[in-house]
Chain A
């Protein structure tokens, strides 16, 4: 066991108690499990008809690590992975960690300008993609600002017979491991820098919290470019010597119980919208193995939880966390009789959770305020955003911008999401991302985008626009094509000029758009007509 030297950490990562990790890097964790369970199945990709034992995957990782060296991608460099859930993603992910290279996972569904932004902002040295994405990547490559970036199709990777001895470079737990881009209030995504310690600490405590063992088999149904898929259903089972089944999110929902039965899955992690979809499909449970479902990322509707648990007899463990806290920072207690409904649970042993008022004073139990987190799973910083870091990491706490309270028993109750963040199917979407693009149309004078309730997705998107010349909803929707990822397309674009009782986008005295007033108007006047 290694006692984490908290003197080496920024103040917002320190907790007032000792904390021990078992390994100094993510690859060292993997290697240790590969030594302990060489023949044991570690990962299965049903879509690719591929499965690797710990030992087999380690061999692939070592080969890929040597390839990275041949390409002169070394410790301290960054690589972008524009890849779906696939063996390529996993092998490159661990090979990079082995070499001390930072991984920047990028959603393959993003548009070329959106990918382009992340590749440039993260200063990656190489981008790996697969053949189906080659057209999109060729559009990204047209940006001359990326001329020094190597774009590598994974089908072109040739592994030469490794002559070079694949000695491990020294990777320390404080070293950068991942940069995950999360939506920002300015409309540009921010890169949350996560260290090896962040990943090790979060996956270790979650593994212990749910009593994962070498018999744990997780189902990774959330995309791997998200922290949730990586930490809960890959690294947490790894931490216990367990295994994981990786399925593509797009094709697998209707197979949820079939996959669970086929592969003897006993844990998974989902967004609430997935539970709603599975319920709506009226699927029959086929397995007898599923022990629990971890849920977060959106507010879990009490009705969905009750219906799901009654229908399938599987307990749901709700928690709360953000990309900035690696994954979850609090969870309801395991086993199921220790859960407190309506709460997102208690702080994990790796972090503290506090509620602070607008003057940065910690408030008493029961009183609402901003949810702040500090600990070994809190990100190091946002990449290249010093001013933002000073603000959100002030006073030794990460200020989430989310609001809630802690009850007398120490259970955290989440109240509202920060600002007017739209949570559609587990994806974070800021209104400004869509507004910025809509504003680019010459007929649009003003616009405001809000999230509206959606039974399956949690929320959907509605845009209000004020025109300066003739235009239609269809023309504006067409205009958005290829400028935004498809999941960011509004369900409706409402032309304010055509509404009888709304002259303008409501604004306050400082001309700040009053999103709340717009949401109330939508609820009152338009909800039933859309």
Chain B
């Protein structure tokens, strides 16, 4: 994932969760990251990056780090 894409991802996370984004943020550390926000977040990522996140990846996307890593996988597979 290049820097522009990373900035775009961080901007989406910031907009949806309403927090400043750092690498170590996760569902366990961000109180506002609840089930509804998670749905909104993944929907926005799918829309903005034009991808469809699969079953196992959805379950694993529980932190900024994991989202970035999984997204990179989709980017490289495009």
Query: Would you list 6 pairs from A and B whose C-beta atoms are within 8 A, ordered by A residue?
Result: A46-B55, A133-B28, A250-B33, A254-B38, A254-B39, A485-B31
State whether the Cβ of B58 lies closer than 8 Å to any Cβ in chain A.
yes
Stretch at the interface among B4-12, B59-67, B69-77: B59-67
Q: Is there contact, CB below 8 Å, between A251 and B55?
A: no
Most buried by A among B33, B39, B56, B59: B59
With A132-B29, A133-B28 known as contacts, the answer to whether A47 contacts B60 (CB < 8 A) is: yes
Task: For A281, give its contact among B29, B32, B34, B39 (CB under 8 Å).
Answer: B39
Interfacial residues of chain A within 387-412, with CB under 8 A of chain B in the complex? none
Give the chain A neighbours of B61 by CB distance below 8 A: 251
Q: Is there contact, CB below 8 Å, between B56 and A46?
A: yes
Q: Is there contact, CB below 8 Å, between B59 and A248?
A: yes
State whether the Cβ of A255 lies closer than 8 Å to any Cβ in chain B.
yes
Smallest CB-CB A-B distances: 9 pairs: A486-B31, A132-B28, A47-B59, A250-B35, A254-B39, A258-B55, A251-B59, A253-B35, A250-B38
Most buried by B among A49, A108, A132, A250: A250
Task: For A250, give its contact among B27, B55, B60 (CB under 8 Å).
Answer: B27
State whether the Cβ of B42 lies closer than 8 Å to any Cβ in chain A.
yes
Q: Is there contact, CB below 8 Å, between A251 and B32?
A: no
Interfacial residues of chain A within 21-65, with CB under 8 A of chain B in the complex? 46-47, 49
* Residues on B facing A (Cβ under 8 Å): 26-29, 31-36, 38-39, 42-43, 55-56, 58-62
Nearest CB in chain B to that of A136: its residue? B28
Give the chain B neighbours of A258 by CB distance below 8 A: 55
A487 to B34: give the CA distance in the assembly, Å: 9
State whether the Cβ of A114 lies closer than 8 Å to any Cβ in chain B.
no
With A277-B39, A456-B36, A486-B34 known as contacts, the answer to whether A262 contacts B55 (CB < 8 A) is: yes
Q: Is there contact, CB below 8 Å, between A252 and B31?
A: no
A-B contact sample (19 more), CB < 8 A, given A135-B29, A254-B38, A485-B31: A46-B56, A49-B56, A132-B28, A133-B28, A247-B59, A250-B27, A250-B33, A250-B35, A251-B27, A251-B58, A251-B59, A251-B62, A252-B59, A254-B58, A255-B59, A277-B36, A277-B39, A281-B39, A487-B34
Nearest CB in chain B to that of A132: its residue? B28
Chain B nearest CB: distance from A185 CB in Å? 25
Give the chain B neighbours of A46 by CB distance below 8 A: 55-56, 59
Nearest CB in chain B to that of A252: its residue? B59
State whether the Cβ of A109 lies closer than 8 Å to any Cβ in chain B.
yes
Q: Is there contact, CB below 8 Å, between B31 and A249?
A: no
Nearest CB in chain A to that of B31: its residue? A486
